[in-house]
Structure 1
């Protein structure tokens, strides 16, 4: 009886998880970038939406990390370099949020979300050209390490603030700074880096009281089967159609949140 009541009471969030799961299954991107704005539109407080989405991302990407690791698609040395920047970035951001825990920092989260949505949209728009850019890069190992850690610091900070960017921005960094990686290694390494980052950032938010576990369960119930369905449909729906559409949507949402426009007043 409780299960039925739970499903009925949380049907809107289950459907939201299903919709996002379908898009992720078809395109391989857009999880956090879509989930957090949708939750905010549903009236979920920004910090709860972000904290819950971080744990959601860690759980849903966890199985993908295991699969890629078993197939040898993860370059752990690269994961370590990115994590050397992203994990401290997440920690520093947590310390900042903890210090201002009693202050309404919603506008900071909103603008960070907008910035990351815009960056994600740009990555999707220009993704076909990233490989060309990487070929032109001839970095020394030292310069490569410094850039990787510095960009990881940025990713860790803004993912903790927005829950967006671990996937799309991580992919862009890998494609540009590590052109030697094969496409499957880019995907596997990016997921392997995103899982601990989103989990740690999510647990930081949990300690601040920013995670709704019932909401999390609802999203997972809806998303897991639809991710599988989307993966099957991906061979029938050209990415040339889905990626520009998704990028355009994220760009619009990014501008709205970056400028802190209240959608309910539009």
Structure 2
């Protein structure tokens, strides 16, 4: 890896985390296409490299949220109960059964596009009532599903959890720390699982350590700054940001899947 690639990874990680952290998204979903197209990380190694980014970058935002008293809560515990076993299952499926990204991109786009547009409309027209909140059982099932998808494709799950929960009327101040805590702990579990699988399975499935650490270092700084910014942004602006991120990601994945 050249120093230019490492520097680009640091800057990209910083900018992505700075923009996405206030909405409860680590930014790994946006780093994934950058790794594939710009930094030329091969598949499936790109998945554990993305998880490594989450592990290194996550504490920046979480430290800030902990200092402000926003980190602990029942939503975080409930989501973790579902996402942690899901991400281990997803990592195993990624290595042994689901090597291609095209179907994943289509599924994520189909899920995120209407959610993103709904959040944008909901933010621009505050009179629209929120949908009914998810029950505890439905939230647990959502956690398992998101964890499995995250394990397969190297995302901690915040990019999916955030729009779904926001669409159900959960306040952004509750969503952001819960989603980022899930992303961080899920990524640790996923990275460890991939590391163990790399010892017993052929193929390029180990993370690119240097690049993942440099991207994560940028994300660590960007995440801390983004978490400091979040309380200063009104709920409407945060929902617009999350809706815009979800819509942009859906459009990106639809474009990539159509190639």
What's the TM-score once normalised by structure 1's chain length?
0.73
The 3-state SS of whatever aligns with 2:157 is: coil
RMSD between aligned alpha carbons?
3.6
Residues of 2 paired with 1:123 and 1:17: CA distance? 30
Say if 2:29 is the partner of 1:33.
yes
Residues of 1 paired with 2:218 and 2:111: CA distance? 27
Q: For the pair shown, which has the larger CA radius of gyration, 1 or 2?
A: 1
- The aligned counterpart of 1:194 is 183
Say if 2:212 is the partner of 1:216.
yes
C-alpha displacement of 1:98? 5.3
C-alpha displacement of 1:215? 1.5
- The aligned counterpart of 2:76 is 79
Residues of 1 paired with 2:224 and 2:71: CA distance? 22
C-alpha displacement of 1:185? 2.2
- Cα deviation code 1:124-157 (max 9, x no counterpart): 4332438988734166xxxx11101111111001
- Cα deviation code 1:59-108 (max 9, x no counterpart): 212221232123221243222211222112112223434555xxxx421x
Q: In 2, are the aligned partners of 1:79 and 1:189 still within 8 Å (CA)?
A: yes
Residues of 2 paired with 1:126 and 1:214: CA distance? 39
Residues of 1 paired with 2:159 and 2:88: CA distance? 21
- The aligned counterpart of 1:151 is 142
Q: In 2, are the aligned partners of 1:167 and 1:194 still within 8 Å (CA)?
A: yes
The 3-state SS of whatever aligns with 1:24 is: helix
- The aligned counterpart of 1:163 is 154
- The aligned counterpart of 1:206 is 195
Superposition map of 1:37-56 within 5 A:
37-41=33-37, 42-56=39-53
Residues of 2 paired with 1:78 and 1:230: CA distance? 21
- The aligned counterpart of 2:118 is 126
Q: In 1, are the aligned partners of 2:13 and 2:216 still within 8 Å (CA)?
A: no
Q: Which runs of 5+ in 1 are unaligned?
A: 1-5, 262-266
C-alpha displacement of 1:225? 4.9
C-alpha displacement of 1:122? 4.5
Q: In 1, are the aligned partners of 2:70 and 2:173 still within 8 Å (CA)?
A: yes
Q: In 1, are the aligned partners of 2:90 and 2:151 still within 8 Å (CA)?
A: yes
Q: Which range moved further: 195-204 or 126-135?
A: 126-135
Tell me the number of residue pairs that the alignment of Structure 1 and Structure 2 aligns.
Answer: 241
The 3-state SS of whatever aligns with 1:137 is: coil
C-alpha displacement of 1:182? 4.0
- Cα deviation code 1:151-193 (max 9, x no counterpart): 111100101111236122222343355x4x5432221122122
Query: Structure 2 vs 1, CA of residues 86 and 175 (structure 1 numbering), >3 Å: closer, same or farther?
Result: same
Q: Which range moved further: 197-206 or 162-171?
A: 162-171
Q: Which range moved further: 149-158 or 40-49?
A: 40-49
- Cα deviation code 1:108-128 (max 9, x no counterpart): x44324533554455443324
What's the TM-score once normalised by structure 2's chain length?
0.74
